[in-house]
Chains A and B, each alone.
Chain A
């Protein structure tokens, strides 16, 4: 659906220029929910603005559904943009227009639809986002979550193949965020619309993303299945974004607490179970086959998109030989593990 090749973009400042997008290559498949995460100022918004050429890159190609946006005329670009829906953090609704007129705007701008066509389309869209009874109200009287629903309805009214979202849930409370994410997921699954979203909330990635790319200083430093990136991030920065928040802080405490210098045989292991592995009696097997002891420090169950996973933090008490044996067992059972200490 999207194919980005060698994309670069810099902004000129008084003192020279800074590269905000630095030679990015990216592929998004049709029907995917693709998340882009990164620190503030990493270039996420710039990247997503390049996807409908709101920002013109200095070099590189942006091919959306087979059309290279960088090589077409202004008029063709306007037509392509109508095929790409966008939702925004601050909704960007027109305060002077009713909800109906706000949702109808993209069709009104296309100029080739009859009043009846527009009415039918808007009514259908409003009922999809659950706002039919608000058609004649003005944005000022809506809550944040309702405004974002209007934003989504407006983005979808032209039946786009691609939906871009820059922090669409960042201005909303957790419950509303959840509702909006459910709606996006429903849209993705029922209408088959590809979604590219930027977020700083891991919750968003966990709930709806299939793929994730991590961007730092204009470069993509890691990308892949949401599952792998979330559970086994490789790059230090990704770990920082994803893990440190929770587990690492906890690990710090554990390390502090245990005074490992006095117990050379004690290790801390972090185990992640996904899918089938979740149901295997792994700890039992380990303790049967080695003479090591273990105790569970912390465990959690969660899901990423629809896939359940478990994480266990255990204290392992055994010599080098049994540790090695335990590792072999875990590998053979396809349990992902990390020797934290």
Chain B
């Protein structure tokens, strides 16, 4: 029985296609995580600093930004993919393939990440801010020398959580021509009833999630002193 599956896997499955799909997924994932982080950190900082009682307290900035983030977070990802087609085409020249999937992935993930950043910042003790101000630190210095280093472990943990959420987002994107492992699973597993290919893609994604989690946890442990 098990022998049969193994022969099946070696004969029926097009491994080069799986290789390519895996690389596509990793490509999407890498850039989506990168841009979500690059956008999410400043947005999270602005949210935090503009909130009540903070250094740059500003009701309007906070409320508007918070509203936009909530809206983005409540739109189902699959709808985001479709709604964003014109924007995506404008940004990267296509709405298809791995490249065309990155913008909706980022828009789907950065608001979530920004909230995680905001929450991590809220955890910092008020005393740290008193200390920083007493040292005569400017707002920029507080961000750079104090806030970012202090939340670094949480930041890495948040990136881990976001990256894992993005793995399943990339699979979903596959259903609407996004390429990658999700695309493969749909085309072979669903449309051609090749369950073995679907199984392999699922296993690969499970492995990805595991690796991300283990590496993330490891880094957090090193950073938390």
Contact = CB atoms under 8 A, between A and B. Distances in A.
A16 to B, nearest CB: 20
Interface in B82-138: 125, 127-128, 130-131, 133-138
Contact of B137 (A84, A86, A109): A109
A97 interface: yes
Contacts of B135: 81-82, 105-106, 109
Nearest to A79: B136
Interface string A125-138: 00000000000001
B138 A78 contact: yes
Interface stretch (B40-48, B69-77, B142-150): B142-150
Contacts of B133: 54, 81
A106 B138 CA distance: 12
A251 to B, nearest CB: 41
Given A78-B136, A84-B134, A109-B136, A92 B128 contact: yes
B136 A94 contact: no
A108 interface: yes
A109 B125 contact: no
Contact of A54 (B128, B130, B223): B130
Contacts of B145: 105, 108-109
A339 B184 CA distance: 97
B149 A97 contact: yes
B225 interface: yes
A336 interface: no
A108 B153 CA distance: 22
A92 B150 contact: no
Interface string A68-93: 00000000011111101010101010
A81 B136 contact: yes
Contacts of A79: 136
A254 interface: no
A222 to B, nearest CB: 28
A96 interface: yes
B142 to A, nearest CB: 9
B20 interface: no
Contacts, number: 57
A324 B139 CA distance: 68
B195 interface: no
Interface centre among A86, A94, A97, by most B CB within 10 Å?
Answer: A94
A81 B128 contact: no
Nearest to A110: B136
B168 to A, nearest CB: 32
Interface string B148-167: 01101100000000000000
Contacts of B134: 52, 54, 81, 84, 86
B141 interface: yes
B146 A94 contact: yes
B152 A96 contact: yes
Interface in A87-122: 88, 90, 92, 94-97, 105-106, 108-110
Interface in A117-157: 138, 140
Nearest to A105: B135
Given A92-B125, A96-B150, A108-B145, A86 B131 contact: yes
Nearest to A137: B225
Given A78-B137, A81-B133, A96-B152, 20 more contacts: A77-B136, A78-B136, A79-B136, A81-B135, A82-B135, A86-B130, A88-B127, A88-B130, A88-B131, A90-B127, A92-B130, A94-B128, A94-B146, A94-B149, A94-B150, A95-B225, A96-B149, A97-B149, A106-B135, A110-B136
28 contacts: A49-B130, A52-B134, A54-B130, A54-B133, A54-B134, A77-B136, A78-B136, A78-B137, A81-B133, A81-B135, A82-B135, A82-B136, A86-B131, A88-B131, A92-B127, A92-B128, A92-B130, A92-B131, A94-B146, A95-B150, A95-B225, A96-B153, A96-B223, A105-B135, A106-B135, A108-B145, A109-B135, A140-B225
Interface of B: 125, 127-128, 130-131, 133-138, 141, 145-146, 149-150, 152-153, 223, 225
Interface of A: 49, 52, 54, 77-82, 84, 86, 88, 90, 92, 94-97, 105-106, 108-110, 138, 140
Closest 4 pairs between A and B when the two form their complex, measured CB to CB: A81-B136, A78-B136, A138-B225, A92-B131
